């Protein structure tokens, strides 16, 4: 099956879910710099998937998928920091870690598939 819309990609949907979770978690955090950075990183995951999808070539899409993957790693790194700063508890940290690792694996899988075409 050929995917015709980025909205049909499970990785885009999961990226959106992660961004919503980040926004909900840090909504009341008063460390504006931290909150802004993790929110921007989380939004970049699905936005880069969407932007790359319509670029017209696998090479361009791969580049944007890589950006998306690195944004996922940024959210992961900041989740460790948030835990150390007592912004989140260990359960929430682990939830973010699992979500970002799952997304990274899925993005990498799509990248491998595109490299074979």
Q: Which residues form the domain of 78?
A: 7-115
- Please state the domain count of the chain: 1
Residue-wise pLDDT tens digits, 62-108: 999 999 999 999 999 999 999 999 999 999 999 999 999 999 999 99
In a domain, residue 2? The reply is: no
In a domain, residue 102? The reply is: yes
CB within 8 A of 59, min separation 6: which ones?
A: none
Tell me, what CATH number does 14's domain have?
Answer: 1.20.1440.60
In a domain, residue 16? The reply is: yes
In a domain, residue 1? The reply is: no
Query: Residue 33: exposed, middle, or buried by beta-carbon count in 10 A (0-12, 13-18, 19+)?
Result: exposed
Angle between helices 32-53 and 10-26 (to 10 degrees): 170
- Which H, E and C letters describe 78-117, residue by residue? HHHHHHHCCCCCHHHHHHHHHHHHHHHHHHHHHHHHHHCC
| The model's pTM | 0.94
């Amino acid at each position: 099956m050929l995917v015709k819309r980025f909205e049909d990609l499970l990785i885009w949907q999961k990226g959106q879910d992660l961004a919503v979770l980040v926004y909900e978690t840090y909504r009341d955090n008063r460390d504006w710099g931290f909150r802004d950075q993790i929110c921007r990183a989380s939004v970049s995951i699905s936005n880069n998937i969407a932007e790359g999808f319509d670029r017209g070539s696998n090479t361009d899409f791969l580049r944007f998928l890589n950006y998306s993957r690195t944004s996922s790693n940024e959210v992961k790194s900041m989740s460790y920091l948030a835990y150390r700063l007592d912004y989140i508890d260990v359960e929430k940290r682990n939830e973010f870690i699992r979500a970002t690792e799952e997304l990274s694996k899925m993005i990498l899988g799509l990248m491998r598939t595109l490299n074979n075409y």
